[in-house]
Amino acid sequence: MPRRSRAIRTPESLYEQNLITEEKLPEIRSVAKRYAVSITPAIRERMETPDDPVARQFVPTADELVTLPEERADPIGDAPFTPVKGITHRYPDRLLLKPMHLCPVYCRFCFRREVVGPGEGMLSADEMARALEYIRSQPDVWEVILTGGDPLMISPARLEPIMTALDAIEHVKVIRFHTRIPVVDPDRVTDALIEALGTETPVWVVVHTNHVQELGDAARAALRRLSSAGIPLLSQTVLLKGVNDTPTALEDLFRTLVANRVKPYYLHHGDLAPGTHHFRTSIQHGQELMGRLRGRLSGTCQPTYVLDIPGGHGKVPVGPSYLEDHGNHTYRVRDPWGCHHDYPPGPVPDAEPAQFTL
């Protein structure tokens, strides 16, 4: 069996792979001291130039050394919602289980870049036991989302007991994985891994991918193996300047995903992670992009454009609005091609609004 190629993990190996120039080595060494670097062989193969849409996501630059005043080490506020190590519990009916703090690749825009990569890898046996006991103690938790780090880096032998434990918790009805593995390290999607995901509790896999160039033959085959095993697939994408911030780039990606049985789920506005300002677009630009996709792209290809409110206040849709209130219960509606249409008034609401008890 041929020896598996190694990931690119150092500035020197970036230079040897012609992804940075020799004069950039000193500044990239400074970046690598703070933020982890890793590029899998599968992703290196998808890079055509050192500045293409794939390379821009994974090759470090000196821009990462600049932190703007509004950027935060914990941009979406995980820390206040961490009752035990490995758990983030922000919403009543779902929580995050983070068993692994390592990734096969390190995205240069990652919102957990201060905590994912350096230090420990997997939760210890005792830490995992406490995390699982917390989930058992929360009867309102309907869904457990494994994230991290990338949870599908865990070997099937170590993943199987975690899945067995979650499967045995009666109030947990859905197990969801957030992962890049099928795209960036597709050889890990083995029969053993799929067997480990085969619990009675339904498993959903949300695949992170940002550009169609990432989806080579190996990635598409890995997605096919998952979907053929009956695992529903969703995707999440981060809106990134210089990577996918055009209608054509998003259209190509979302159509390709649906053609590979992956439903686009979220388009994330870039988070305020330190050293990521060069990736963020304006929210207005994101809204314009989503507006331009409406009408030219099938509804099955449309994700929800969302913003994680800094400070841990939750995720909200921030897509464009097509409705204008003209008063007296009348509206003007903008169609996907920019034309406006009157919408007839509806029934006058009751003088006293109905009262609801939550």
Query: Mind listing the domains of the chain with CATH numbers?
Result: 11-65 (no CATH), 79-317 (3.20.20.70)
Structure token pair of residue 192: 């053993």
**Active site annotation includes 339:** no
**Cα 140 to Cα 170: distance, rounded to the nearest angstrom:** 11
| Options 241, 315, 331, 334, the catalytic residue | 315
**Active site annotation includes 241:** no
Assess contact for 62 and 28: CB atoms under 8 A. yes
**Cα 134 to Cα 346: distance, rounded to the nearest angstrom:** 48
pLDDT digits (tens, 9 = 90+) for 108-152: 999 999 888 765 689 999 999 999 999 999 999 999 999 989 999
The alpha-helical segments, DSSP class H, found in the chain are 11-16, 25-34, 41-46, 55-58, 125-136, 156-167, 181-184, 191-196, 217-228, 247-259, 283-293
- What pLDDT does residue 358 have? 46
* Residue 346 CB partners (closer than 8 Å, separation 6+): 329
Structure token pair of residue 334: 């903008």
- What pLDDT does residue 246 have? 98
**Cα 146 to Cα 276: distance, rounded to the nearest angstrom:** 25
Helix (H) or strand (E) segment spanning residue 308: strand 304-308
Whole-structure pTM over 0.95, yes or no? no
**Active site annotation includes 308:** yes
Q: Give strand pairing partners of 176.
A: 145, 204
- What pLDDT does residue 2 have? 39
Residue type, 202: P
| Options 35, 56, 103, 185, the catalytic residue | 103
Three-state secondary-structure class, residue 242: coil
| Options 35, 107, 134, 176, the catalytic residue | 107
Question: SS3 breakdown of the chain: % helix, strand, coil, rounded to 5?
Answer: 35, 20, 50
Q: Tell me the backbone φ, ψ of residue 283, rounded to 5 degrees.
A: -65, -40
**Active site annotation includes 91:** yes
Can you give the pLDDT of all 358 residues of the chain as single tens digits?
Answer: 333 578 999 999 999 999 999 999 999 999 999 999 999 999 999 999 999 999 999 999 999 999 999 999 999 989 999 999 999 999 999 999 999 999 999 999 999 998 887 656 899 999 999 999 999 999 999 999 999 899 999 999 999 999 999 999 999 999 999 999 999 999 999 999 999 999 999 999 999 999 999 999 999 999 999 999 999 999 999 999 999 999 999 999 999 999 999 999 999 999 999 999 999 999 999 999 999 999 899 999 999 999 999 988 999 999 998 988 878 778 899 888 889 998 887 665 655 555 545 4
- What pLDDT does residue 253 have? 98
Assess contact for 42 and 187: CB atoms under 8 A. yes
Helix (H) or strand (E) segment spanning residue 341: strand 340-343
Measured distance between the N- and C-terminal CA atoms of the chain, rounded to whole angstroms: 61
**Cα 206 to Cα 77: distance, rounded to the nearest angstrom:** 21
Q: For the chain, what is the total number of helices (H) and then of strands (E)?
A: 11, 12
Q: What is the dihedral of CA 315, 318, 324, 327, to 10 degrees?
A: 30
**Cα 135 to Cα 221: distance, rounded to the nearest angstrom:** 34
**Active site annotation includes 9:** no
- What pLDDT does residue 63 have? 97
Helix (H) or strand (E) segment spanning residue 325: strand 323-325
**Active site annotation includes 112:** yes
The alpha-helical segments, DSSP class H, found in 137-179 are 156-167
| Options 35, 220, 271, 305, the catalytic residue | 271
| Options 15, 34, 91, 265, the catalytic residue | 91
| Options 110, 113, 180, 280, the catalytic residue | 110
| Options 46, 72, 98, 112, the catalytic residue | 112
| Options 9, 34, 94, 224, the catalytic residue | 94
Burial of 347 from C-beta contacts in 10 A (0-12 / 13-18 / 19+): exposed
**Active site annotation includes 220:** no
